[in-house]
Structure 1
Amino acid sequence: MKKLIVTTALLGLMAGAASAQDVVRMGTEGAYPPYNFINDDGEIDGFERALGDELCARAELTCEWVLNDWDSIIPNLTSGNYDTIIAGMSITDERDEVIDFTQAYIPPTPSIFVALDEDVDLSGGVIAAQTNTIQAGYIAAETEAVLVEFATPDETVAAVRNGEADAVLADADFLLDAVSSDPDLMVVGDPVALGGGIGMGLREGNDLIATFDAAITSMKEDGTLNALIVEWFGDDAVTW
């Protein structure tokens, strides 16, 4: 209880510090279910939409959502097109050299391979991954496989379905959703541990980092963050 009281007080202080900024623009991809996607009404939806709205409410911030393609999501943050990235972005040392991160709001989760054949050659075959992801970096640097990169996650799965790639490597949360909707797809090989969890990215030195950190901490402490993870990722999801 003492921790929660301290966190609540800090949230109030951080909200006051951030009040000089009228609107906080939340940048996301809108193409990575269940993290973020566009629903049938044409609106941004998913786990991160629900999370971001709750964080803004707790921090007493007025927030608006901005869509941006994944391959330019960091450059457009640093150039000021929006104030945060909340788009299933794993915390890595390489990214941390360019932008700052909040604490993780999703714990480190495994990446998995998905293919049409359980005997696919993962060590020397053709593996699809989304451009500028930790999975693409892993295939290029740590394996002998041929990497083929695509702009969107859906394209990586399509490459497996149409024979352009032998398998795809991506976050388990995303690929398990694809497998559940396509009986021809299957998980193959062993999971790969990558990244330090998923957090919000902000420009270096932005005071909003402390504001969102306090809000994330309050959600962890009162159990609402775990409840939201289970709601969107299922009972077997990794939680805090």
Structure 2
Amino acid sequence: MQNLQKYLASEFEMKSLGDLKYFLGIKVSRSKHGIFISQRKYILDLLAETGMLDCIPIDTPSEQNHKFGLYPDQVPTDKECYQRLMGKLIYLAHTHPDIAYAVSVVNQFMHSPSEDHMGVVMSILRYLKVTPGKGLMFSKYSHIDVEGYMNADWAGSVIDRCSTSGYFTFVGSNLVTWRSKKQKVVSRSNNEAEYRGMAQGVCELLWLRRLLRDLRFAPQKPMDLYCNNKAAIAIAHNPVQHDLTKHVGFIFWSKFCYYKKNNGYCC
């Protein structure tokens, strides 16, 4: 570390400030159990800015199975305010994966927000009041095994009938990446939506494996990908089921073949 600091100091004007404690609204706490990052002050400042410090908190960031869309009779809201709040919530998702899905949904309507969409944003803020001090804990374990979990809905969007898939991955039992994103194509069945989500999860696992290999911490065990759809798992094990996969792009099952051949998988 000292040699690296000397080399950087010879190339750039810099100085060492010691252990990281606070950076861009993210607080970093160190203990014998590991490293904990949170955005408590950032959340409290956001609640104070929006006048939500005295609001009634709720237990979930959004209603379950609620469908959001664009309607001709919707009442518009302040677009600039909506976009500013969305930018802050997207940054908060760096330490709050529990709001990632709700934020990704309302983020799709930044070009034409309505009062209903703003109401969901306010619900997210009310949820954050319950969890301002929550964050991510990175503990030290004796392994760096990589595993991922994924799920997807089917035709969840009432606008274009596209599905939303999400995944999160662990390295050494620590959560490192997560994502919730609407698929680019319309899936013809729930099995296909789950299968496409699995392909995205495999890509993320392969990227993590290459990254760890570059850092000289390559995993020693096969990476595991977990899915709760038996039909999608069966297709991944046997992609030659033409009746089920002939309408799915070749690239999806070819990624599974590569993953099975080089790393092995467990669903």
TM-score bracket, shorter-length normalisation? under 0.3
Using structure 2 for the length normalisation, give the TM-score: 0.23
Using structure 1 for the length normalisation, give the TM-score: 0.24
